[in-house]
A = this chain, B = another copy of it.
Amino acid sequence: MFRDSLEAGARAVAAHFDHVLSDAADLPVLHAMRYATTGGKGLRGWLVLEGARLHDVAPERALWPACAIEAIHAYSLVHDDLPCMDDDDLRRGLPTVHRKWDEATAVLAGDALQALGFEMVADPRCHPDPLVRADLTLSLARAAGARGMVLGQALDMAAERADAPLDLQQITALQAGKTGALIAWSAEAGARLAHADLAPLTAYAERLGLAFQIADDILDVEGDAETVGKAVGKDAGRGKATFVSLLGLEGAKARATSLVTEACDALSPYGHRADALREAARFVISRRN
């Protein structure tokens, strides 16, 4: 049932993308933008839609921030996959943007997707109250920038060049930026749209983001490339510290499980209305890709 809801959300977000980009110029960069936003799980967009539903925000509104966060997430993947970054050929089971087109198109498509993300949360159709739009923009810029996602990526890059592998505290800080910041924004967006208290969703998202990254590290060890849709076994091959290398495989699984329990507990103010978000948290650590 959660999977159905996730797929329905991804379809709605994809249709909204098509709608928003329908008048854009017919150039490779546009096709690359659509390609990059297609075929993912759409977890971040779904979190926005579900958080909005929880606060009785109309789905037509919530689609704007849902699309925005998927655009920002897609841009980060396109740039991450570049030869000068992670140098990946495969993403979501398909050639990465710079492999299907070229590096210049990948750089530009990523840049345009980032701008598009901000355009969508600042659009009056996202919310009639400009205070909400400005709040969504400011929080999204912080989550995506040098104090959020880019900070996490920069810490990751510094770690790869450092002599000693990171310890648990450092890798948790790295993750909080690299994956955590956008997941937190996604989970909180519904409350922002409704001028509601962010605290329960913030607490939920912090644990969800960490569990998500631990699950990713486990998949890198246990998964096969075909199912995961991208290269696996890369971290161990590079001697890189991960939650698995630091906690052991069983330790990492136990930590992810307890984080999911904590994430679910954080939603208690919402009662059973938040069951779909609880299911999402359990899905995050049971997924195979």
Contact = CB atoms under 8 A, between A and B. Distances in A.
Contact of A114 (B115, B123, B137): B115
Given A146-B33, A155-B27, A158-B28, A107 B85 contact: yes
Interface string A75-89: 110010010110000
Contacts of A151: 24-25, 27
B85 A154 contact: no
A118 B118 contact: yes
Contacts of A138: 119, 122-124
Q: Count chain B CB atoms within 10 A of each CB in A27, A30, A110, A122 and give the residue with the most.
A: A122
A118 B141 contact: yes
Interface in A125-150: 129-131, 133-135, 137-138, 140-142, 144-148, 150
A135 B153 CA distance: 30
A262 interface: no
B119 A154 contact: no
A103 interface: yes
Contacts of A137: 118, 122, 133-134, 137
Contacts of A104: 82, 84-85, 157
A21 B112 CA distance: 24
B29 A150 contact: yes
Given A130-B130, A137-B134, A138-B122, A115 B145 contact: yes
Contact of A115 (B146, B155, B157): B146
A110 to B, nearest CB: 8
Contacts of A144: 115
Contact of A108 (B112, B129, B142, B150): B150
A111 interface: yes
A154 B115 contact: no
B157 A141 contact: no
Contacts of A158: 27-28
9 contacts: A24-B147, A29-B157, A79-B108, A85-B104, A116-B141, A118-B141, A124-B134, A130-B134, A133-B137
Interface of A: 21, 24-25, 27-30, 33, 75-76, 79, 82, 84-85, 102-105, 107-108, 110-112, 114-116, 118-119, 122-124, 129-131, 133-135, 137-138, 140-142, 144-148, 150-151, 153-155, 157-158
